[in-house]
Amino acid sequence: MNDTILKISNLKVAYGGIHAIKGIDMEIREGELVTLIGANGAGKTTTMKAITGLQGWVSGEAQYLGKSIKGVPSHELLKQGLAMVPEGRGVFSRMTIVENLQMGAYSRNDTAGIATDVERMFEIFPRLKERAAQLAGTMSGGEQQMLAMARALMSKPRLLLLDEPSMGLSPIMVEKIFQVVRDISAQGVTVLLVEQNARLALMAADRGYVMESGLITMSGNAKDMLDDPKVRAAYLGE
């Protein structure tokens, strides 16, 4: 059995007096593609922010590679191989595509390796190669999503968190993004995927968690969840 890369125990997060996360348990093993689905406001993004040090938490524990990450800043986690592509992409709009990719590798100092990985990103995302000198802010939403994912991959993550990668994209671009997610996973990067498109997420994932009102209400094999009547009624529009 694969080693656990991330283990969350009874995690609670509050904004002011509002309890956004009410005590959740999650586990992700090395090499898995795990998805977290749920309605808007369920607490999915808050969970991602708590894992990556962007949001403090009230109580509970989160361990990455067997060590507590409570209070560890995001940039330190990135150096340890934990990267996130946030909702809304967040590219450096006034930098070129190449400069954005180089920023993704800011914690590395292997110059030759960085150059090699830029070329590898261009192979994964040919659209970016065509526009290498273009300012990121002038690209379409789908192209910016590709760039945000490529930039995160430049840090050589062991665990990649993707928050709503398909949001606001055309159906053809959504399919492209999901193909890349599957490819990244197949190359051995562990992935935690938060996604509104529950059907595509469960089809791509090994395992899934369902989140409702700050609680995990269901977990299991992703393919089994696709056939679950409650999941189908609530999240697959059936």
- Comparing C-alpha atoms, which of 36, 33, 39 is closest to residue 237? 39
How much is the average pLDDT of 80-96? 90
Instruction: Specify the pLDDT at position 108.
Output: 87
The answer to whether the Cα torsion of 190, 145, 114, 116 is positive or negative is positive
Confidence of residue 238 (pLDDT cuts 50, 70, 90): low
Look over the chain and give the mean of its residue pLDDT values, rounded to a whole number: 93
Confidence of residue 147 (pLDDT cuts 50, 70, 90): very high
pTM of the model: 0.93
Instruction: Specify the pLDDT at position 160.
Output: 96
| Domains of the chain and any CATH numbers | 32-42+73-235 (3.40.50.300)
Q: Which residue has the tokens 């930098």?
A: 95
* pLDDT tens-digit readout, 187-229: 999 999 999 899 999 999 999 999 999 999 999 999 999 999 9
Whole-number percent of the chain with pLDDT over 90: 82
- Comparing C-alpha atoms, which of 221, 217, 88 is closest to residue 163? 88
* pLDDT tens-digit readout, 27-63: 999 999 999 999 888 999 999 999 999 998 989 999 9
State yes or no: pLDDT of 186 exceeds 80: yes
State yes or no: pLDDT of 1 exceeds 60: no
State yes or no: pLDDT of 86 exceeds 90: no
- Comparing C-alpha atoms, which of 187, 152, 181, 182 is closest to residue 165? 181
Instruction: Specify the pLDDT at position 97.
Output: 96
How much is the average pLDDT of 132-160? 93
State the DSSP string of the chain: -PPEEEEEEEEEEEETTEEEEEEEEEEEETT-EEEEE--TTSSHHHHHHHHTTSS--SEEEEEETTEE-TT--HHHHHHTTEEEE-TT----TTSBHHHHHHHHTTT---HHHHHHHHHHHHHH-HHHHHTTTSBGGGS-HHHHHHHHHHHHHTT--SEEEEESTTTT--HHHHHHHHHHHHHHHHTT-EEEEE-S-HHHHHHH-SEEEEEETTEEEEEEEHHHHHT-HHHHHHHS--
